[in-house]
Amino acid sequence: MIYLQKQTTNLINIQVVDMVTIDDPIYLFRFVDEQRKKEFFIEIAKNNPNNPRFGIFELTLPTDLNMDSGKFEMFVYQSDETGRRDFKNMPELTSVRAEVEKEYKTPTTYEREESNDIVYSLTS
Domain CATH for 13: 2.60.40.10
SS3 assignment, position 48: coil
Could you please report the per-residue DSSP string of 53-120? S-EEEEEEETTT----SEEEEEEEEEESSTT---GGGS-EEEEEEEEEESSPPPPP--PPPPPPPP--
Is 110 domain-assigned? no
pLDDT for 69 equals: 92
Contact 6, 61 (CB under 8 A): yes
Contact 31, 69 (CB under 8 A): no
Is 113 domain-assigned? no
Q: Which structural domain range is residue 97 located in?
A: 2-81+91-101
Is 118 domain-assigned? no
Is 44 domain-assigned? yes
Is 68 domain-assigned? yes
Q: What is the mean pLDDT of each run of 10 residues along the chain (124 residues)?
A: 91 88 91 96 90 88 91 95 92 94 66 66 68
Beta strands 39-44; 26-33: pairing state: antiparallel
Predicted TM-score of the model (pTM): 0.79
Is 21 domain-assigned? yes
pLDDT for 109 equals: 64
Is 57 domain-assigned? yes
Is 109 domain-assigned? no
Number of domains in the chain: 1
Of 27, 55, 28, nearest to 41 (Cα)?
Answer: 28
